[in-house]
């Protein structure tokens, strides 16, 4: 189910189509390349010779306006792409990055994202129609933590809820293990070591609640840091064992309610982690 109305989702579908139209009009004035030929150094588009610069600028403004309207559709559907060093980005909002050196977005990325968004919106529209007919209260999964929804959305919108939960769990672990350089341990051990109380060891950074220790409020928070860390450790370990591992080793499909409850748990956990600071062992240099 979705908390968005059929009318709203249909309008999002229309603005994505409008973006596609404006984008292709502009692309007619551009030389198109891709990541392979750009080699991570060059733009993936550049203006064709002989084009009227004023006309090109007007077309760019039209694309920018259409992209602004279509950006919400990406957020609703979770159709982000993963870019090394940047995380999840929206190719539609960032279409202009194609013109820059070391472009991380290509025309194919933009077109593929627009097509994916439209496909997911069609599925959400069908669900919204069913919800309106049933009168059952709905929720908005797109309001989950961005990392969680981006990983789960593709499978969730095709009703593969077990896979959606598994992918969300994996994405959260991979994201933090990559950030902390801890690909040397499995997920459960990683969370236990990363969120346990005490000082970090060499090569094993930890996450801790932030704040200036001289601030009275922060002092109070620091007094609760150890139980908070223990709670986070238990939450991470519990989620990993009872949710991720179970959904990985069974083929029994989750109900919609079961799936959203599990995704919500990961979303809440992800937001807690976002508020923590990374602590390294003394004299250890952060790369």
Q: Convert the pLDDT of each residue in 43-96 to its tens digit.
A: 999 999 999 999 999 999 999 999 999 999 998 888 888 887 787 889 999 999
Per-residue DSSP letter, 196: S
Q: d(Cα 50, Cα 84) in Å, to the nearest integer?
A: 36
Q: Is the pLDDT of residue 287 over 50?
A: no
State CA 187 to chain mean position distance.
Answer: 20
Q: d(Cα 111, Cα 86) in Å, to the nearest integer?
A: 20
Q: d(Cα 284, Cα 56) in Å, to the nearest integer?
A: 50
The tokens for 70 are: 């279509």
Residue 180's pLDDT band (boundaries 50, 70, 90)? very high
Q: Is the pLDDT of residue 259 over 80?
A: yes
The residue count of the chain comes to: 287
Per-residue DSSP letter, 5: -
**Which pLDDT score, from 0 to 100, does residue 247 have?**
57
The tokens for 261 are: 């409850």
Q: d(Cα 240, Cα 262) in Å, to the nearest integer?
A: 11
Q: d(Cα 195, Cα 187) in Å, to the nearest integer?
A: 12
pTM, whole model, 2 decimals?
0.54
**DSSP letters along 98-117, please?**
GGSTT-S--HHHHHHHHHHH
């Amino acid at each position: 189910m979705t908390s968005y109305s059929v009318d709203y989702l249909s309008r999002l579908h229309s603005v994505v189509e409008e973006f596609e139209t404006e984008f292709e009009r502009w692309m007619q004035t551009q030389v198109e390349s891709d990541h392979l030929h750009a080699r991570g150094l060059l733009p993936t588009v550049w203006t064709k010779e002989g084009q009227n610069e004023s006309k090109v600028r007007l077309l760019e403004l039209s694309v920018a306006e259409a992209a602004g309207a279509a950006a919400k559709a990406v957020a609703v559907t979770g159709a982000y792409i993963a870019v090394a060093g940047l995380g999840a980005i929206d190719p539609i909002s960032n279409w202009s990055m194609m013109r820059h050196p070391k472009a991380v977005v290509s025309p194919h990325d933009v077109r593929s994202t627009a097509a994916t968004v439209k496909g997911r919106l069609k599925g959400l529209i069908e669900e919204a129609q069913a919800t309106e007919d049933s009168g059952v209260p709905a929720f908005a999964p797109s309001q989950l933590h961005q990392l969680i929804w981006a990983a789960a959305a593709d499978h969730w919108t095709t009703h593969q809820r077990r896979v959606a939960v598994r992918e969300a769990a994996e994405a959260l672990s991979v994201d933090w293990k990559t950030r902390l350089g801890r690909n040397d341990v499995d997920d459960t051990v990683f969370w236990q070591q990363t969120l346990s109380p005490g000082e970090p060891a060499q090569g094993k950074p930890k996450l801790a609640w932030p704040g200036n220790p001289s601030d009275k409020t922060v002092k109070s928070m620091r007094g609760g840091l150890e139980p908070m860390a223990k709670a986070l450790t238990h939450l991470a370990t519990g989620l990993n064992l009872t949710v991720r591992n179970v959904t990985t080793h069974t083929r029994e499909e989750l109900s919609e309610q079961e799936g959203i409850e599990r995704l919500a748990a990961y979303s809440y956990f992800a937001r807690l982690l976002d508020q923590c600071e990374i602590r390294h062992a003394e004299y250890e240099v952060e790369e």
